Amino acid sequence: ALQSFYADWKDEALVINQWLAIQEGSSTENNLARVQSLLEHDAFDMTNPNKVRSLIGAFCTLNPDNFHKADGSGYEFLADQIIKLDALNPQTASRMVNPLTRWKRYDKARQELMKEQLERIGQHDLSNDVREIVNKSLA
């Protein structure tokens, strides 16, 4: 059904943004793998801020079951995307960091996993926008 819907609406950007967001919202056990596969889909474009927010941003803010998995895979995924995105669009990348900056709100184990990813992001050659947010969060 999703493939058929995409075929019918692929030329409508706003509809496709919602199509991406709906798929990331699934709380199925391994939805992160689905989100990762959508990064390679023709509908997704890392240089388009709306597409980034529809897929990556929505996954990290609207799918707590998968983003906050105890293994930290959601945090690692977000850090990977921020590192890539910072080279393309620092302003969008700086907005994507926010879910990790809220690390103090979670249990000790998740706090450590989130801080670990913030520190990993901080080890890269970053834009001033992202570096400032990461450094403030870790201070």
74 has a pLDDT exceeding 80? yes
| pLDDT for residue 23 is more than 80 | no
> By mean pLDDT, which of 31-35, 94-98, 113-117, 131-135 is the weakest?
31-35
User: Cα 116–86–79 angle (5° rounding)?
Assistant: 25
pLDDT digits (tens, 9 = 90+) for 38-48: 899 888 899 99
With a cut of 70, say whether residue 112 has pLDDT above it. Answer: yes
For every residue of the chain, DSSP letters joined together read: -HHHHHHHHTT-HHHHHHHHHHHHT---TTHHHHHHHHTTSTT--TT-HHHHIIIIIHHHHH-HHHHT-TT-HHHHHHHHHHHHHHHH-HHHHHHHTHHHHTGGGS-HHHHHHHHHHHHHHHTS---HHHHHHHHHHH-
